[in-house]
Amino acid sequence: MEERRGVRSYSFDPVYRHLLRAMELSQNGDVPQDLKAEINRAIELCQENFAYPWEDALKEGRVSYYATPRMLTGNVEGTRTLIK
């Protein structure tokens, strides 16, 4: 389980990959500092999402079904409420 939550698992998420690429591109040009900060914050939010113990939250009844981190970054959309 920890391996799945590890840094290597982040690379499978397309949103995360695009954010990393945007951050890389922003270092090479004349990009406003506030935009760089927003890109970095979005990357941090993705990392927090990937690191969150979703399986534990399900077992404890804090969420209504197991949501993979990919589901929460926009790859899967649904109509059910996740958090109870």
pLDDT tens-place string over residues 40-53? 999 998 888 888 88
pTM of the predicted protein model: 0.65
Residue 4: closest CA among 80, 66, 84: 66
Q: How confident is the model at residue 19, as a pLDDT?
A: 92
CA distances in angstroms from 67 to 19, 30, 40, 54, 82, listed in the order given: 21, 38, 24, 7, 8
Spell out the per-residue pLDDT of the chain, length 84, in tens.
Answer: 344 444 455 667 788 889 999 999 999 878 999 999 999 999 998 888 888 888 888 889 888 877 666 666 555 445 555 554
